[in-house]
Amino acid sequence: MTAASLPFVAAYRPPAPVPHAAPLKPRQYIRALTDNPLTIWTQAQFEELYIQIDGRLLGPRLIINDPEGIRHVLVDNEANYLRDDLQKRILTRTIGLGLFAAEGQAWRAQRRILAPLFAPRAVGGFLPAMVEAAAAGARRLAALPEGSVIDAAPMMSAIALDVLERTLFREGFGVPLAELSRHSNAFIEGAGGVSLLDLFGLPSWIPTWRALRAHRSRRFIGDMVDRMVAERRARLAAGAAGTGEGEIRDLLALLLDAADRETGIGLSNREVRDNVLTFIGAGHETTAGALAWTLLLLSGAPDVRAAVEAEIDSVLGAGPVTAETVADLVLTRAAIEEAMRLYPSAPFLGRAAVKDDVIGGRPVKAGTIVMIVPWIIHRHQRLWSDPGLFDPGRFLPGRRDLIPRYAYLPFGAGPRVCIGSVFALQEAVVVLANALRDHRFDLVEGARIEPTQRITLRARHGIPMRVSRRR
Ligand code: HEM
């Protein structure tokens, strides 16, 4: 299918916070930032390419919406831009110092160790496992009574965790996936937001209501990760003693192998543990979110949904998703890519300038927080035509090439680009195709959909969908 042969007219404008006409007053700003950072933005930020903010509270900041400026920060001069302190604080208390949060030499070593698992060939090898997890998810749907209401986000989250168990963590998590999904959700909800302590740089051990609520879930996940690492270490040690048959070369094996090397560039125990946490967190919540938002969008645009269903029927028939068929699901993939434009799982990429620099002709002082905000860039008036409209045609052959590389950043860009991007897209297409093959999802009438930022983009009250059988 090409953009020129579309069987639908884009007409659906999905829910999003309305930008403010003028900047918020400091108290309103802090309230909005700690409640939902998506609600701090002004209309000008969706129209200008650079916005300098000399805020007294948070220091000098520069919002960059110019694709050239973004390339400068994320690619050309990336060594001068490290994750900012606020982001580091939130990352450290959620996923620790794994690949996502590490910098410099520690980051380079971890990325090199883990890269082989995410190379396109390795990801292609994960396809059958992804298909099995997606089919198991579809069977759970089939077992529901007709017309049942489910929340799309936890449903997708359980499938994405199953994918991780069958690919990156092949000895499993050792806990029921629904329970892990529930704790992960509660943990991110509790620990993943910006608190007043964060804004004022106060010690993070001061208890806050949100942190207390997340405590039980933090313990559940931490204990689970410790058990996974300890059990695998014990097995590897047995292997070293000559009984290591069936050793599994998954993420944990790569991490532990690197940790055991004596070259000095291996991983510390903390790095191993934090990377397990990182890949569970970054590896399921984001993809599950993209899928849940896609279901919402398709429910709001029945013409597009009918076209996606027709594509799935004609490409897959009754057969499974394979390497060939996955490539032919072009509209299905385009719908997911458009969902990641409107609802990017990572809505904010923050950096801090290490040394003075010049971006787009503007002097930038060391210490300036440089804000690259996919939430804004993907809805920017100067970068997209009718940006608020759900139109998967933008990502079909013929129009896809017109999108400037740095105007579409669901996975970031440059050396810190998402290591799991190929994995995530393949997984998303496989899971969506399996879910839509036999079932239709309709947003429950009157449901309140409120996009909210808690590290990732989430729906504050969930995405309740009624599931009916398509055939
Ligand atoms: C739709 C799904 C996903 C989205 C939208 C997404 C988004 C992103 C973005 C925007 C970044 C860059 C952040 C920055 O530059 O500040 C990133 C980094 C990362 N992502 Fe993803 N991600 C997804 C899926 C995954 C998956 C499936 C995995 C692993 C299984 C993963 C693991 C990571 C890791 C470890 C990093 C840090 C990479 C580094 O700094 O070297 N992500 N992701």
Mean pLDDT value of segment 353-363:
95
For residues 284 and 248, which has the higher predicted lDDT (pLDDT)?
284
Q: What is the pLDDT of residues 35-92, one digit of tens each?
A: 899 999 999 999 999 999 877 767 889 999 999 999 999 999 999 999 888 777 777 7
The reported pLDDT for the residue numbered 249 is 75
The reported pLDDT for the residue numbered 85 is 80
Protein residue closest via CA to atom 2 of ligand 1 = 287
The reported pLDDT for the residue numbered 354 is 95
Output the CA 74–ligand 1 centroid distance in Å: 14
Q: DSSP assignment of 300-327, as one string?
A: H-HHHHHHHHHHHHHHHTTSPP-HHHHH
For the CA of 284, the closest atom of ligand 1 is 27
The reported pLDDT for the residue numbered 91 is 73
Long-range CB pairs of 386-389 (<8 Å, 24+ gap) are 387/46, 388/13, 388/14, 388/16, 389/10, 389/11, 389/12, 389/13
Output the CA 402–ligand 1 centroid distance in Å: 24
State the CB neighbour count (10 A cutoff) for residue 303: 15
Which residues, judged by CB distance below 6 Å to any ligand atom, belong to the binding site of ligand 1?
99-100, 111, 278-279, 282-283, 286-287, 290, 340, 345-346, 349, 410-412, 416, 418-420, 423-424
Protein residue closest via CA to atom 1 of ligand 1 = 287
- Whole-angstrom distance between the N-terminal and C-terminal Cα of the chain? 24
Output the CA 377–ligand 1 centroid distance in Å: 18
Protein residue closest via CA to atom 27 of ligand 1 = 283
For the CA of 346, the closest atom of ligand 1 is 10
Q: What is the pLDDT of residues 417-431, one digit of tens each?
A: 999 999 999 999 999
- Greatest mean pLDDT range, 187-196, 273-282, 393-402: 393-402
Number of domains in the chain: 1
Q: DSSP assignment of 193-261, as one string?
A: S--HHHHTT--TTS--HHHHHHHHHHHHHHHHHHHHHHHHHHHHHHIIIII-TT---SHHHHHHHHHH-
Output the CA 469–ligand 1 centroid distance in Å: 34
For the CA of 87, the closest atom of ligand 1 is 16
For the CA of 160, the closest atom of ligand 1 is 27
For the CA of 351, the closest atom of ligand 1 is 16
Protein residue closest via CA to atom 17 of ligand 1 = 418
| Residue 27's pLDDT band (cuts 50, 70, 90) | confident
199 is in an annotated binding site: no
The reported pLDDT for the residue numbered 197 is 46
Q: Which residues is 458 bridged to in the sheet?
A: 452
The reported pLDDT for the residue numbered 445 is 95
| Residue 265's pLDDT band (cuts 50, 70, 90) | low
Protein residue closest via CA to atom 21 of ligand 1 = 418
Q: What average pLDDT does the structure give for the chain? A: 88
Rounded Cα gap, residues 155 and 297, in angstroms: 16
Rounded Cα gap, residues 66 and 359, in angstroms: 10
CA dihedral 339, 343, 349, 350 (to 10 degrees): 170
Paired tokens of 66? 């110019």
Q: What is the pLDDT of residues 215-262, one digit of tens each?
A: 788 888 899 999 999 988 888 777 754 444 555 578 888 888 876 554
For the CA of 412, the closest atom of ligand 1 is 10
Protein residue closest via CA to atom 23 of ligand 1 = 286
Output the CA 11–ligand 1 centroid distance in Å: 31
For the CA of 114, the closest atom of ligand 1 is 35
CATH code at position 255: 1.10.630.10
Helix runs in 329-395, H state only: 330-342, 374-377
Amino acid found at 170? R
How far, in whole angstroms, is CA 194 from its chain's centroid?
Answer: 18
The reported pLDDT for the residue numbered 193 is 58
Most informative mutation of 123, 166, 418 for ligand 1 (most atoms within 8 A of CB):
418
Output the CA 9–ligand 1 centroid distance in Å: 32
Rounded Cα gap, residues 390 and 338, in angstroms: 7
Rounded Cα gap, residues 7 and 334, in angstroms: 14
Count Cα atoms within 13 angstroms, Cβ side, for 299.
Answer: 24
Contacts of 319 by beta carbon, 8 Å cutoff, 6+ apart: 325
State the CB neighbour count (10 A cutoff) for residue 147: 10
| Residue 208's pLDDT band (cuts 50, 70, 90) | low
Output the CA 88–ligand 1 centroid distance in Å: 15
Output the CA angle 158-159-162, nearest 5 degrees. Answer: 90
| Residue 195's pLDDT band (cuts 50, 70, 90) | low
Output the CA 390–ligand 1 centroid distance in Å: 24
Most informative mutation of 64, 271, 286, 457 for ligand 1 (most atoms within 8 A of CB):
286
Mean pLDDT value of segment 281-285:
88
The reported pLDDT for the residue numbered 329 is 96
Q: What is the pLDDT of residues 295-327, one digit of tens each?
A: 999 999 999 999 999 999 999 988 888 888 999
Protein residue closest via CA to atom 13 of ligand 1 = 412
Pairing state between β 439-443 and 81-82: unpaired
Output the CA 6–ligand 1 centroid distance in Å: 31
Mean pLDDT value of segment 283-290:
93
E strands in 38-157: 50-55, 59-64, 81-82, 149-151
Cβ pair 126, 426 in contact under 8 A: yes
For the CA of 83, the closest atom of ligand 1 is 16
Output the CA 22–ligand 1 centroid distance in Å: 33
Mean pLDDT value of segment 325-341:
96
Residue range(s) defining the domain that contains residue 361 = 3-469
* pLDDT cut 70: percent of the chain above it: 90
Q: What is the pLDDT of residues 131-189, one digit of tens each?
A: 999 999 999 999 999 999 999 999 999 999 999 999 999 889 999 998 998 888 887 77
Output the CA 279–ligand 1 centroid distance in Å: 9
The reported pLDDT for the residue numbered 420 is 96
Mean pLDDT value of segment 15-22:
96
Phi, psi of 62 (to 5 degrees): -130, 120
For the CA of 415, the closest atom of ligand 1 is 41
Give the residue among 332, 301, 298, 334 at the shortest CA–CA distance from 314.
332
